[in-house]
Structure 1
């Protein structure tokens, strides 16, 4: 439908399996970039996140992000559902339509319920034929997954900025303290207290 032509901005594929794989490949690459940014490594040259045969799976990369960053429950579920959809379409030949996926069992049924909960009420999709409606919803899920990764990067950048600002403040404070008559003594006492606290904690 012309109204929803934007869902083909990334992939023009009419074949649903190909459509899903082309979108999830983008999310997987963005996940690798996100991990590279957080860990301060060149993800493309990384054995864990790059394109090599020893690279971690999409699921493992997502799980690392979930371990490192506090994602809300809904974000975690959206990433989990996206991975589940991708894996089933990639590995089970008999799954060609969303109806096949939803009839697969309890997990398939849960994804259908999540689709309805997250998107059917938010967007006016009631007049669409089922398979096309679920394709539109999958596109929204894809957009949410990319937004989650960008949010993780943004939050990490903000945290780094805060830490850098704290260090700058401490350097300025130290420089100003040294100028005081008892400045060196104050710094030495503060340093000794920190060392003492570290010994107690260890």
Structure 2
């Protein structure tokens, strides 16, 4: 009788244990399902995109570049003229009491300073000589030559060879009678031998004085 009672109790305990294990398994499965549902509902995080790099500005050569204006018989300060594929511009006209090297003009004269930009509009190396290619005309048409060696900047920027598309800007000094009027500046091209140079063409600028 006692043995039978023990068998009944043991069977009941085993049944309860099995029921508890089943309940725990069910709860675990339900929790896992909830976690999977939450993961599926959460929006997928897009990978971080690095900040866009600012565009690098195009390189420049820091030189002025000219565009020829309409052809004229006489140009004005600020105009751009073209001659033999060279572009020429008179930027400004001023006066000076002395050169860059403190050299003063002779009595009754002053320096008229013409600031010029020239650009090589060809595909080849070209020269510019303030002494050979430029001159000033007074009101009577008399030629006045450049004051050689008056400006270090002029020598460095103007009196030199330049490649295709390159330009230079600098001052050119002319010694003229004080308060002279009707002045014109001339740029010309020359051809021929060193002993027999001939003028091929010229452009004339009214200096407004």
- The structure with more strand, counted as a fraction of residues: 2
- Smaller-chain TM-score range? under 0.3
Q: TM (normalized to structure 1)?
A: 0.20
